[in-house]
């Protein structure tokens, strides 16, 4: 079991110079304030993320401070399977309001389909319930305004669970930038590659519809835009973007509703045999008669209205510009990132999955202008999302002191990352540059 001993000050500031270390602050403003010692915890959305990362894993690690008092999902069958997966005996609900009235939670985790996060965040805040939400916090600017207004109105705090920040490799990048070795960052080159397995998966499910996930500009890129905002310590100011749907959706020659009954399965490179996955068969296939949610949906369905190839130019409040691209049909998974500084360049190549052997999963190189190139060693860490999942949970549920730059992400971070993607999507649709300040009042 993880505990606060694994979070030594040395671990947090290990690569940092004196200028970076600074003083330590509580990671979680909720726990530092008048939050009760034991939390009455509820989950809305009992799909994969809700039952694993924010379900069973919490019951296993934090039962000394957490009681799971209610689970809710629009699909009653999945709520029941979810309860079994989480390993609790609390009641399940299909109505959020009924869950709040009867189970009386004081802490809510929001893990529904993205398009419904805002509705539940606002309702919970208005009931005086603290909120943890999965990314993206919202999928459009109206939802963003509603969430920010509800937080102010109720004088409460939202935590947006940006686990990517807590992968040690990403902390190392933050600390290298803070050390000032490459000087002021003038521009950033950032290319994220989703492969024909993980990338395709977004086209199988609800993510394929803008109304559900806001497109990959929001659903997926919110992670990347949050990292950049945090690494640069700056806000996005304006976005110009272009995008297309080049491989999935209507581009397919043949299609079916989903893979299991598909007559084209022998010939389709994207065929996915879900029957080999016992967990998914229980959580999705055994519940699909209640809502027609096919976890193995066809990637070539004609209703796909999101993009699989995306490019954006983003300008930041500190004068930095970023060239960003996201492609969802690559033969490998990972990213390539570079910070072009006045005194040098920091380059990162992250290998997540590829059809060849790599020596090290993440290469970080720093080259000083008129100087030398050196490789920065990256700590090897086990666990989901580069080790970020475990570290994030410990920060939320244990009393941990961290440097200011490792504090838990708040609603402003949730808003700024989503707004970059919302601006990019709007830029594509309206063929114009979109200013963030025109989208919401912060
Ligand atoms: N941070 C990460 O790395 C990460 C990874 C995976 C997923 N996520 C996020 O977690 C959330 C859940 O993703 P998932 O992969 O578990 O999806 P999922 O499809 O497995 O689960 C979503 C659940 O929401 C339920 N639902 C849909 N509409 C609802 C509504 N109106 N009210 C209540 N419940 C509703 C569905 O029935 C389903 O059980 C998403 O917001 C996703 O972006 C984050």
Cβ–Cβ under 8 Å, residues 78 and 97? no
Give 41-57 pLDDT, tens digit per residue.
999 999 999 999 999 99
Strands 434-435 and 236-244 come out as antiparallel
CA Rg value for the chain: 22
DSSP 385: G
- pLDDT band at 35; cut points 50, 70, 90: low
**Global pTM value:** 0.94
Ligand 1 centroid vs 284 CA: distance in angstroms?
12
Which has the closest alpha carbon to 284: 123, 68, 116, 51?
51
Pocket test for ligand 1, best of 42, 46, 47 (most atoms within 8 A of CB): 47
> CB of 349 within 8 A of CB of 333?
no
Find the mean pLDDT for residues 141-150.
98
Question: Up-side HSE of residue 170: CA atoms within 13 Å toward CB?
Answer: 25
What digits encode the pLDDT tens for the residues 218-239? 999 999 999 999 999 999 999 9
- Is residue 237 within a helix (H) or strand (E), and if so which, with residue range? strand 236-244
Position in ligand 1 atom list of the atom nearest CA 79? 39
pLDDT value, residue 27:
72
Alpha-carbon span 411 to 165, nearest angstrom: 15
Which of 135, 40, 49 lies closest to 91, judged by CA?
Answer: 40
SS3 347: strand
Token pair of 353 as six digits:
């999955």
Pocket of ligand 1 (CB under 6 A): 44-50, 73-75, 78, 111-114, 116, 134-135, 163, 219, 385
Sign of the Cα pseudo-torsion (346, 350, 354, 359, in order): positive
Kindly report, residue by residue over 381-411, the tens digit of the pLDDT: 777 776 788 889 999 998 788 999 999 999 9
Stretch 124-145: mean pLDDT? 98
């Amino acid at each position: 079991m993880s505990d606060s001993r694994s979070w030594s000050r040395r671990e947090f500031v290990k690569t940092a110079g004196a200028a970076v270390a600074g003083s330590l602050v509580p990671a979680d403003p909720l726990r530092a304030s008048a939050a009760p010692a034991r939390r009455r915890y509820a989950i809305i959305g009992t799909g994969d993320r809700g039952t694993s990362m924010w379900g069973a894993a919490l019951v296993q690690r934090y039962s000394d401070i957490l009681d799971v008092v209610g689970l809710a999902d629009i699909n009653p069958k999945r709520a029941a399977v979810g309860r079994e997966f989480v390993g609790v005996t609390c009641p399940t609900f299909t109505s959020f309001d009924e869950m709040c009235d009867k189970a009386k939670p004081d802490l809510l985790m929001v893990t529904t389909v993205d398009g419904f996060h805002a509705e539940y965040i606002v309702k919970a805040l208005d009931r005086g319930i603290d909120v943890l939400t999965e990314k993206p916090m919202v999928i459009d600017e109206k939802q963003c305004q509603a969430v920010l207004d509800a937080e102010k109105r109720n004088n409460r705090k939202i935590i947006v669970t940006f686990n990517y920040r807590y992968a040690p490799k990403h902390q190392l990048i933050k600390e290298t930038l803070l050390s000032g070795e490459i000087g002021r960052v003038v521009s950033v080159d950032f290319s994220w590659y989703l492969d024909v397995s993980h990338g395709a998966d977004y086209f199988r499910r609800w993510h394929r519809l803008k109304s559900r996930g806001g497109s990959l500009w929001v659903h997926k890129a919110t992670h990347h835009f949050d990292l950049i905002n945090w690494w640069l310590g700056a806000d996005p100011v304006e976005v110009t973007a272009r995008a297309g749907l080049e491989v999935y959706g209507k581009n397919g020659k043949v299609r079916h509703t989903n893979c299991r009954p598909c007559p084209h399965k022998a010939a389709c490179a994207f065929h996915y045999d879900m029957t080999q996955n016992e967990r998914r068969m229980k959580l999705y296939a055994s519940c699909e008669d209640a809502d027609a949610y096919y976890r193995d949906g066809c990637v070539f369905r004609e209703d796909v209205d999101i993009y699989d190839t995306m490019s954006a130019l983003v300008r930041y409040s500190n004068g930095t510009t970023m060239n960003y691209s996201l492609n969802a049909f690559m033969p490998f998974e990972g990213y390539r990132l570079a910070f072009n500084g006045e005194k040098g360049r920091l380059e990162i190549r992250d290998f997540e999955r590829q059809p060849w052997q790599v020596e090290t999963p993440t290469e970080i190189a720093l080259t000083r202008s008129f100087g030398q190139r050196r490789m920065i060693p990256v700590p090897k860490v086990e666990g989901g999302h580069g080790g970020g999942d475990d570290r994030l949970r410990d920060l939320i549920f244990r009393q941990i002191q961290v440097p200011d730059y490792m504090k838990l992400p708040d609603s402003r971070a949730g808003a700024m990352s989503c707004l970059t993607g919302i601006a990019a999507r709007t830029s594509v649709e309206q063929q114009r540059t979109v200013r963030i300040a025109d989208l919401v009042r912060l």
